[in-house]
Every structure is written in C-alpha cells, then in structure tokens.
C-alpha cells in the first residue's frame, strides 16, 4: 500500500492511536466505499478488521509470528526448522551493516510490516547510499499505526538472509497460501516481481487448477495454467502445520530447486483492505473463516450486567465471559 504523503501518514498515526475502531471504519469506507459491518462481518476483509480489534491485540502468539525474526522460533517448534532460510546477520540499525562481509547476493529486510526490503543481486553493483536511505526511511515507519495492525508493534530488527535463487536469476516467485482454520485452501502465486517487469498474480487450488479470484485470473484465457512447481505439495503441507492455531493466516513460501523455504506469516494481507480480490472472492473467503470468540473483561461484564439489571455487583470471583459480536 502506498502512503501518498507525510500528512496522510501522520493522520493515520494519530487516528489509529486515538481510536483503532474508528480508524478501521474510516479506512474501510475509504477503500471500499461502504460501511464496515463489525457486528455481522461477512467478507474476509471485514473479518480481518474484526480480528484486529478483538483477536490480534494482545495475542502473544500472533505478535510472535508477525515478527519475521521471532517467527523463526515458532517454525522450529512446529518441527519445520529445515525450511528456514539461512540468516546471515541481524542489525539494530542500518548503520551496523558491515557490507564487506556480506555475500555477493543477499536480502535485507525489516522484521515488521510489509515492504522495506533491499534485494541485492550483485554486491559490486549495489548503490549502498540508496539502500541505506530506503532502510532508514522504512525504519522510521510506525507500521502498527498505518492500518491499525497491532501485531506490528515490536522491537525493530534488520535481517540479512541468503538470496534464494530462481532459474532466470531474478527474484524468486512468492507462494502465498491462504489458510482458514488450519487448512491451506489456495495459493496465490506472484510471478515476475521486480522493478522492471510487471508482476502476475494467479490463484491455484491444491489440484493446481486456476481459480479466477482476482481480475488477472478472471481475464485469463480458457484452460490457462502455469507449470506446477516441484515442492508445491510440500509447501501446502507446511502451510497447514504453521496455520493450525489461527482462524486465518497467509503463509508465504519460496521454492528453490524443489526445496521449500519459509518466508513469513501474514495476518492482515493488504492491511485488511485488499482491492485485488473480486467481491465474490471476498465473500467466498469470508465464508471460510470462522471467527474466534471475542473476549470481554470482568469490568466490561460488570458494566453490562449492572446496566441490564439495574443493580451493582461486587463479587470479584466471577470469571470473565466470552462473547462475539
């Protein structure tokens, strides 16, 4: 998502700080030109807004797995250490980078948010000054306050990972698995992602059948397909293992010579304002997602009961209830 101006950015910071609920309602209207239904959410992005407010906030596992560094421990705990990409180094600041000891090809990425990556195809050709500017600029961003994504509030860390090779030497294809209640249903394949080529995005199911879930898929000719990559079935398996605890998560992977490599876990694709999916896809994905129970505190419970019954309660032994709007 592009932030058009610093004014826009700081307005979002202020709005999301003061009232996340108001922020998601206004942003949802801005992107979709309709009111957000939090009481009875239907589409995937409506339900993502609901989970931002009532499920992701203060959820320690979600916070861990949204952190691109700390999620590595979760992957190990799931028995999938073998799919972790090689971590060359970590830095608290771009100034800490020792460019001389880095390999010829590498990727620098922050552990928070979406974007801010520096992909180095050849260290001899990299513009270090430009890379430093981009890394510092992204470091200053308050990612959790752009679209009210609480899971991105974390200690910032810069990671250097091994460059995953592709057949043509370009950036590898992203395989983004949409997982609902622990089942990887579909994979969004992101081809030709680079600064010089127009990317292509296609959804496929487990049988590698094209799903016309976005405009590019809808416009594809009859019998259209892409070569099924070696390792895609293993990637589906890994996605299901990692997504088990979550109502919804997008599990991202790369494949190099048939071997699967973990990318990241994304709980709010597009910030929950993804205009790339067709309206019918939004509803289909929304139907696949069963929302968790919304927790309410003892204090909230007392207020509710007091107003309803017209009397005061002082028994603090009552346990919290759960409720879903």
Give the model's pLDDT for residue 166: 85
The SS3 of residue 160 is strand
Residue 40 in tokens: 């009875």
Q: What confidence tier does 254 reach under pLDDT thresholds 50, 70, 90?
A: very high
Q: What confidence tier does 315 reach under pLDDT thresholds 50, 70, 90?
A: very low
Tell me: the pLDDT tens digits for 158-209? 999 999 988 777 789 999 999 999 999 999 999 987 666 788 999 999 999 9
Residue 268: which of 110, 143, 118, 142 has the closest Cα? 143
Give the model's pLDDT for residue 295: 59
Domain boundary assignment for the chain: 6-288, 293-325
Q: What is the CATH code for 6-288? A: 3.30.470
Residue 275 above 70 pLDDT? yes
Distance of CA 281 to CAs 29, 38, 95, 106, 203, Å? 19, 19, 44, 36, 11
Give the model's pLDDT for residue 306: 41
Tell me: the pLDDT tens digits for 5-15? 889 999 999 99
Give the model's pLDDT for residue 311: 43
H, E, C per residue of 195-263: CCCCCEEEEEECCCCEECCEHHHHHCCCCCCCCCCCCHHHHHHHHHHHHCCCCEEEEEEEEECCEEEEE
Give the model's pLDDT for residue 294: 77
Residue 233 above 60 pLDDT? yes
Residue 116 in tokens: 């801010």
pTM of the model: 0.88
For 31, residues 6+ apart whose C-beta sits below 8 A from its C-beta are: 273, 275
């Amino acid at each position: 998502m592009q932030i058009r101006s610093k004014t826009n950015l700081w307005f979002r910071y202020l709005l999301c700080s003061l009232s996340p609920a108001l922020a998601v309602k206004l942003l949802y209207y801005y992107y979709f030109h309709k009111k957000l239904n939090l009481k009875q959410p239907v589409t995937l992005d409506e339900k993502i807004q609901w989970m931002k407010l009532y499920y992701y906030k203060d959820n320690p596992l979600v916070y861990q797995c949204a952190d691109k560094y700390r999620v590595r421990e979760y992957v190990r705990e799931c028995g999938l250490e073998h799919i972790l990409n090689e971590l060359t180094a970590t830095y608290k600041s771009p100034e800490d980078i020792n460019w001389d000891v880095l390999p010829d090809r590498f990727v620098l990425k922050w552990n928070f948010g979406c974007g801010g990556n520096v992909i180095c195809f050849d260290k001899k050709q990299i513009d270090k000054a430009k890379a430093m500017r981009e890394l510092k600029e992204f470091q200053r961003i308050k990612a959790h306050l752009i679209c009210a994504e609480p899971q991105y509030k974390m200690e910032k860390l810069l990671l250097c990972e091994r460059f995953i090779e592709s057949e043509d030497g370009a950036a590898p294809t992203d395989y983004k698995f949409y997982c609902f209640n622990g089942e990887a249903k579909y994979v969004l394949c992101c081809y030709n992602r680079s600064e010089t080529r127009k990317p292509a995005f296609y959804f496929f199911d487990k049988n590698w059948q094209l799903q016309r879930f976005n405009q590019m898929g809808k416009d594809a000719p009859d019998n259209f397909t892409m070569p099924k990559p070696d390792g895609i079935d293993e990637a589906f398996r890994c996605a299901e293992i990692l997504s088990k605890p979550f109502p919804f998560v997008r599990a991202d992977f790369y494949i190099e010579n048939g071997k699967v490599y973990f990318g990241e876990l994304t709980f709010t694709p597009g910030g929950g304002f993804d205009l790339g999916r067709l309206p019918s896809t939004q509803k289909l994905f929304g139907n696949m997602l069963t929302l968790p129970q919304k927790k309410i505190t003892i204090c909230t419970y007392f207020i509710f009961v007091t107003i309803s019954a017209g009397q005061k309660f002082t028994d603090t032994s009552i346990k919290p209830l759960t409720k879903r709007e």
